[in-house]
A and B are shown apart, each in its own frame.
Chain A
Amino acid sequence: MDKMPKWADLFLIPAINLVLAFMAAGLVVLAIGQNPLDAIYYMIKGAVGSTSGIGYTLYYATNYMFTGLAVAVAFHARLFNIGGEGQAAIGGVGAAVVLLAVDWPHWTIALPFAILGASAFGAAWAFIPAYLQAKRGSHIVITTIMFNFIAAALIGFLLNGILKNPATQNAETRNFGAGAHLPTAHEMLAPFGIEFSKSAPLNFSFLLALLCAFLVWVLIWRTRLGYQIRAFGHNEGAAKYAGIPAVKITIIAMLISGGLAGMLSINVVMGEQERLIKEFVEGAGFVGIAVALMGRSHPFGIVLASILFGMLTQGGFELLFEMPAISREMVLVIQALIILFTGALDHMVRDPVERIFFRMQKRAA
């Protein structure tokens, strides 16, 4: 009796949070003397107004799906993996090493190996914090933050050293070669007679991200391991009592999480850049936290939230052209406010809404 209907928990509360976040962001826009409604119009137009806009939106959404799923899997085990940024970066090293090692004949052959490299490296970067959390009780939030910085230093070292392309001044690897080229949305849709923007970076990885979302759903809600992860996250003591090994679950959940974060590089490094550059993650690891919170750690919610955040990112770029007074960092502000309202100030909305529902239920009874 004393529970809210499920739809309220899954849709009403996130919607209210989102509205509050956008209202607060609107105040910021007003404060710098601009019209927030115009800003929203240009952002939506920029994000979905053309196939190029859609292509960029879904390209960013692909990144956020990977990192959002990564954060969510860890969340289910009540682990806060704030290290998506570093795991994705090291995943990129894994993908690059695989793609540079062999002259790949065709992308269908290269892709499985690149996925293996990216996810194995990402998982490996999550392993040490996971092990230290499970075995030595070191707080995983702090260790994963530290590992983000260590990853940044490591990738800088590699790209100025052994992985560097000697032909350029830039800290980057050489190009991967034609055999590692992932088909873009333009190339995939052309045979069906659909004209899609050539410049948009959307590529095959988008489908891969959707597949990952489905697999995460199967894992979390349809397998024994997923049950163990959820039980462990729900009540560590009870889970231990039920014979669920804490060390194993912590490490496995983090390995999956790191692996998913590493997959981001399939989209960016293999799909878009076709070489490894230094700061290719661009904060997507952190956006994953917002995405997982917004999507209530459910793959379906994460896909929707990723598309929303993809629209924000792409819309933010367009906004800069239309309203030069608002810089692109407005997107960061909106993301911050969404994290604040959906994550940290959740009770502020949830408690009053719950009370209203109880009162209605009482009256009905």
Chain B
Amino acid sequence: MDSFLQLILTLDMSIRLSVVLLLACLAGLYSERSGIVDIGLEGKMLIAAFFAAVAAFHSGSAWVGVLAGCAASLVFSMIHGVASITYRGNQLISGVAINFLASGLTVVIGNAWYQKGGQTPTLSGAARFTPIDLPFARVVRDVPVLGPIYSDLISGHNALVYIAFLIVPLTWWVLFRTRFGLRLRAVGENPASVDTAGISVVRMRYRALIITGILCGIAGAYLSTAQAAGFGREMTAGRGYIALAALIFAKWRPWYAMGACLLFGLLEAISNLFPNINVFGLVTIPVQFTQALPYILTVVILAGFVGKAIPPRAGGEPYVKER
């Protein structure tokens, strides 16, 4: 039974760690499906995490924090939009700038406001998201096998976790079952045809970036008000890039994105819980290898040796209307 509980614990941790990745990954999905490459997920999450923590601290409400995080992330998303849609700039360079801007601004402002080296005050009480017990979680805990799975693995997460996992089917539905989704995908594959049909490419892409901004905002708020109790400098720690990797791994599809994020979350949980894995007493897998595995897997996928990841065709290209 011991190793079973260990397994539950590991999986539980993977779920919690994969939420940020999942939200950021879905954020990137909307942007990239519309033809805007977004390597600025990291920066948007970081600025959102900061303002979410600040707003949650001063209002005492974690939900106000989420709103503030979304607003901050949205501003950054619109900077990306102005640069890459309106002024047809290089989307990659704009993304790099956004990441820099976020890691600089959060510390500069944080230090000026709280003088704690970029950290924000510790959150407590309603300023943080707390675990929710699903119905009957306490009752069925003692049922063998299924009990712990329900009460420890499925129940007992905070609201944002459930929201994140609900956004997956929602995204699938929006993308593949609505007119908006069809147009979004078309604008990322062949913007000229969408334009010919009388739909504004610019407007579609801005809408996609608004969704991206909101989702990155939730992701950032999760980091600073749910996973941790406040903002710490560089607290995204490359998760925006892992999310990008997951997006490629998932080949820009929502359900696969969930799978990829859970896998990468599991890898992070393993490297946290079991730093050096000893395989049959023969080889020790160093912790650095587990940490690098998401990136290595992504390169392998990108190389096309295991299935080919084909990005939306118009990705990265500014759209210039024919005259």
In the complex the two chains form, what is the Cα distance from A329 to B106 in whole Å?
9
**A343: interface (CB < 8 Å):** yes
Can you list, as one digit per residue, whether each of A329-365 has a CB less than 8 Å from chain B (1) or not (0)?
A: 1111111110110011111100000000000000000
Can you list, as one digit per residue, whether each of A123-162 has a CB less than 8 Å from chain B (1) or not (0)?
A: 0000010001000111101110111011001101100110
In the complex the two chains form, what is the Cα distance from A336 to B80 in whole Å?
13
**A327: interface (CB < 8 Å):** yes
Chain A, Cβ-Cβ closest to B80: A344
Residues of B within 8 A of A149 (CB): 238, 241, 292, 295
User: Taking A344-B97, A348-B87 as contacts, is the C-beta distance between A132 and B302 under 8 angstroms?
Assistant: yes
Residues of A within 8 A of B88 (CB): 347
In the complex the two chains form, what is the Cα distance from A293 to B83 in whole Å?
15
Residues of A within 8 A of B112 (CB): 32-34, 325-327
What is the interface of chain A, defined by CB distance below 8 A to chain B? Answer: 28, 31-34, 80, 82, 128, 132, 136-139, 141-143, 145-147, 149-150, 153-154, 156-157, 160-161, 286, 289, 293, 325-327, 329-337, 339-340, 343-348
Residues of B within 8 A of A139 (CB): 302, 311
Chain B, Cβ-Cβ closest to A151: B292
Closest 7 CB pairs of A and B: A332-B104, A336-B100, A344-B94, A333-B104, A153-B292, A343-B93, A336-B101
- Give the number of residues in B that approach A within 8 Å (Cβ atoms): 49
Residues of A within 8 A of B84 (CB): 344
Chain B, Cβ-Cβ closest to A332: B104
In the complex the two chains form, what is the Cα distance from A266 to B298 in whole Å?
31
Q: Which one of A34, A286, A348 contacts B100 once the chains associate, using CB atoms below 8 Å?
A: A286
In the complex the two chains form, what is the Cα distance from A336 to B152 in whole Å?
43
In the complex the two chains form, what is the Cα distance from A137 to B301 in whole Å?
12
Q: Name 9 A/B residue pairs within 8 A (Cβ), A-sorted.
A: A31-B109, A142-B248, A154-B292, A160-B288, A329-B105, A332-B100, A333-B105, A336-B101, A339-B100
Can you list, as one digit per residue, whether each of B75-103 has a CB less than 8 Å from chain A (1) or not (0)?
A: 00001001110011111111011111101
Residues of A within 8 A of B37 (CB): 141
Could you tell me if A28 and B93 are in contact, using CB atoms closer than 8 angstroms? no
Other 20 A-B pairs with CB < 8 A, given A329-B104, A340-B83? A32-B108, A82-B92, A128-B299, A132-B303, A138-B302, A141-B92, A142-B248, A147-B295, A149-B241, A153-B288, A153-B289, A154-B288, A154-B292, A289-B93, A326-B112, A329-B103, A333-B104, A333-B105, A335-B100, A344-B94
User: Taking A327-B111, A333-B101 as contacts, is the C-beta distance between A343 and B89 under 8 angstroms?
Assistant: yes
Could you tell me if B118 and A138 are in contact, using CB atoms closer than 8 angstroms? no
Could you tell me if B87 and A344 are in contact, using CB atoms closer than 8 angstroms? yes
Question: B103 to chain A: closest CB distance in Å?
Answer: 6
Residues of B within 8 A of A333 (CB): 100-101, 104-105, 108
Question: A102 to chain B: closest CB distance in Å?
Answer: 28
Could you tell me if B299 and A132 are in contact, using CB atoms closer than 8 angstroms? yes
Centre residue among B97, B99, B295, B304 by max chain A CB count within 10 A: B97
Could you tell me if A340 and B299 are in contact, using CB atoms closer than 8 angstroms? no
**B45: interface (CB < 8 Å):** no
**B296: interface (CB < 8 Å):** yes
In the complex the two chains form, what is the Cα distance from A154 to B296 in whole Å?
12
**B244: interface (CB < 8 Å):** yes
Could you tell me if A150 and B295 are in contact, using CB atoms closer than 8 angstroms? yes
**B131: interface (CB < 8 Å):** no
Could you tell me if A157 and B289 are in contact, using CB atoms closer than 8 angstroms? yes
Could you tell me if B104 and A138 are in contact, using CB atoms closer than 8 angstroms? no
Could you tell me if B93 and A344 are in contact, using CB atoms closer than 8 angstroms? yes
Residues of B within 8 A of A344 (CB): 83-84, 87, 89-91, 93-94, 97
Chain A, Cβ-Cβ closest to B242: A149
Residues of A within 8 A of B90 (CB): 343-344
Residues of A within 8 A of B94 (CB): 340, 343-345
Q: Which one of A28, A80, A136 contacts B303 once the chains associate, using CB atoms below 8 Å?
A: A136
Residues of B within 8 A of A343 (CB): 89-90, 93-94, 96-97
Residues of A within 8 A of B68 (CB): none
Question: B266 to chain A: closest CB distance in Å?
Answer: 17
In the complex the two chains form, what is the Cα distance from A60 to B304 in whole Å?
39
Chain A, Cβ-Cβ closest to B286: A157
Question: B13 to chain A: closest CB distance in Å?
Answer: 20
In the complex the two chains form, what is the Cα distance from A181 to B94 in whole Å?
40
Chain B, Cβ-Cβ closest to A289: B96
Could you tell me if B103 and A327 are in contact, using CB atoms closer than 8 angstroms? no
Residues of A within 8 A of B210 (CB): none
Could you tell me if B96 and A329 are in contact, using CB atoms closer than 8 angstroms? no
Centre residue among A31, A33, A145 by max chain B CB count within 10 A: A145
In the complex the two chains form, what is the Cα distance from A82 to B95 in whole Å?
12
Question: A233 to chain B: closest CB distance in Å?
Answer: 14
User: Taking A340-B94, A343-B89 as contacts, is the C-beta distance between A138 and B296 under 8 angstroms?
Assistant: no
Could you tell me if B96 and A286 are in contact, using CB atoms closer than 8 angstroms? yes
Residues of B within 8 A of A128 (CB): 299
**B107: interface (CB < 8 Å):** yes
Q: Which one of A145, A327, A334 contacts B244 once the chains associate, using CB atoms below 8 Å?
A: A145
Residues of A within 8 A of B91 (CB): 344
Chain B, Cβ-Cβ closest to A158: B288
Could you tell me if A327 and B292 are in contact, using CB atoms closer than 8 angstroms? no
In the complex the two chains form, what is the Cα distance from A101 to B90 in whole Å?
44
Residues of A within 8 A of B298 (CB): 142, 146
**B245: interface (CB < 8 Å):** yes
